[in-house]
Amino acid sequence: MKATAQPRVTSTDETGEFPFAPNDYVLHLLAAIVMYRDASLDLELKPLGLSIGRFRALSILVRCGPCTMTEMSAYSATDRTTLTRVADHLVAEGLVKRIGAAQDRRRVLLELTEAGHTRHAEAFAVIADCNRRIAAGTPETALRSTIRMLTAIIGNQTNSEATRASLLRFERV
């Protein structure tokens, strides 16, 4: 690489332990971990006809039961256009079906089919195996502390109690 003048350093760790300030470094590492994990899982899930995006959609329906597209979009932080494409694929595969809500037939919900439950369980085995490889060598106390930090971050990211309940407690409010 050619040498060029360096601009002002805007995020530094005064202790020198990390290349940036701890807050920016944590987010840098998280972004990289998720990009590498998603790329790896897209390949590993392909034999099951899934991608990580499709798996996430199935997971929301497992955790929360039937959901509207608006709820799915909020819980997965996925835009409606992408989510519609994912949902259409899952419906075409017979893993998800569209149903009318009991109280309002015009309100369309997505619901997992039996085949969807089975496919999700098969995919989760792949995911869990990948998760174990990623977390190998991390002490459990440190992992629990990291989870508490991630919980606090997500709490800061959304004001929606429904989104927090879905992501943090696997609950529907």
> Please, which residue, 25 or 162, has the CB nearer to other proteins?
25
**Token pair of 31, please?**
């972004």
Task: Kindly state the smallest distance separating residue 104's Cβ from other proteins, in Å.
Answer: 25
Comparing CB distances to other proteins, the nearer of 77 and 107 is: 77
Three-state DSSP state, 67 = strand
DSSP secondary structure string, 11-65? ---TTSSSSS-HHHHHHHHHHHHHHHHHHHHHHHHGGGT--HHHHHHHHHHHHH-
Residue carrying the six token digits 């994990």? 37
Closest approach of Cβ 120 to other proteins, in Å? 7
CB 122, min distance to other proteins, A:
9
CB of 99 to other proteins, least distance (A): 19
Angstrom CA distances, 105 to 70, 73, 102, 128, stand at 16, 20, 6, 37
Write the CA distances from 124 to 44, 50, 86, 102, 127, integer angstroms.
11, 11, 18, 30, 5
For other proteins, the closer of residues 105 and 137 by Cβ is 137
Q: Contact 38/93 with Cβ under 8 angstroms? A: no
The nearest distance, CB 153 to other proteins, in angstroms, is 5
Q: Which is nearer to other proteins, 108 or 130 (CB)?
A: 130
Tokens 């490889």: give the residue.
133
- Which residue's CB is nearer to other proteins, number 2 or number 106? 2
